[in-house]
Amino acid sequence: MELTWERHEIEILDQEIIVKPYLQITTKGLDTNAQNLHQDFISNLPHLSEVSNDHMKIISQMSSEIEMAKMNAREHSSMEDLINEFNGEMNEKGITLPIKIRSPDEMIIQSRIEKENQIIRIISPSINGGIFRSFTLPDNHQIGNITSGNGIIEILFR
C-alpha cells in the first residue's frame, strides 16, 4: 500500500508584497561603467527567490522517498513532544507554534492518513538548523487551515 503525503499550503498573514520589475532601465546612460551596471543588475534580481523556491521544491521531491524510508524506520513523535519542543500550545481550535517564517516555502507541512489518524510531517531546512518532525493528531482531528502571522504558525483543525 502506497502512503501518499498531501502538502498543506501556509497562508502568510502579515506579509507585504513588493513587486519590482525584472528589468529596470538605468538612467545613467553612458556615464556609467561595468561595475555599476553589474551592481544594478545584482540588486534587482527578484528571480533569485524564484530559483531558490524551485530548488527547495526539487530537493523536497528528491528526498521524499528517502525521508519516507526514514519515517517508516522510526516512530512518530508525540504531539505533546512537538508542542513542548517549540513552546507551542494546543486548544480545541488547533496548534500554535511560535515559529516565524517570511514565505510559505520556508516550511513544508504535509499529512497522510494512517490507521484512521492523520500523521503530520513538518520539514524546514532553515529553521533551528533544520526541522524534520512527524507526529500524530488526536483521534477525530484533521488539519483544516494553516496560517502564519506575527511569528506564530497556527495549524487549525476542521
Q: How far is CA 136 from the centre of its chain?
A: 19
Q: What is the pLDDT of residue 74?
A: 56
Q: What is the pLDDT along the chain (158 residues), one digit of tens a residue?
A: 447 889 999 998 866 554 555 555 556 666 777 888 777 777 766 666 777 778 877 877 777 666 665 655 556 778 888 899 889 999 999 999 999 888 888 899 999 998 888 999 998 887 877 888 888 898 889 999 999 998 899 999 98
The burial of 120, by beta-carbon neighbours within 10 Å (0-12 exposed, 13-18 middle, 19 or more buried), is given as buried
Beta bridge partners of 86: none
Contact indicator for 148, 101 with CB cutoff of 8 Å: yes
Using alpha carbons, select from 114, 101, 103 the residue that is nearest to residue 57. 103
Domain boundaries, the chain: 6-15+32-157
Q: What is the pLDDT of residue 90?
A: 93
Q: For residues 142 and 155, give the distance between their C-alpha atoms in angstroms, rounded to a whole number.
A: 10
**Buried b or exposed e, range 52-74, using 16+ CB within 10 angstroms:** eeeebeeebeeeeeebbeebeee
Q: CA 96 → CA 52, 89, 130, distances in Å?
A: 27, 5, 19
pTM above 0.75, yes or no: no
Q: How far is CA 118 from the centre of its chain?
A: 19
* Cell, residue 112: 497522510
Q: For residues 131 and 121, give the distance between their C-alpha atoms in angstroms, rounded to a whole number.
A: 10
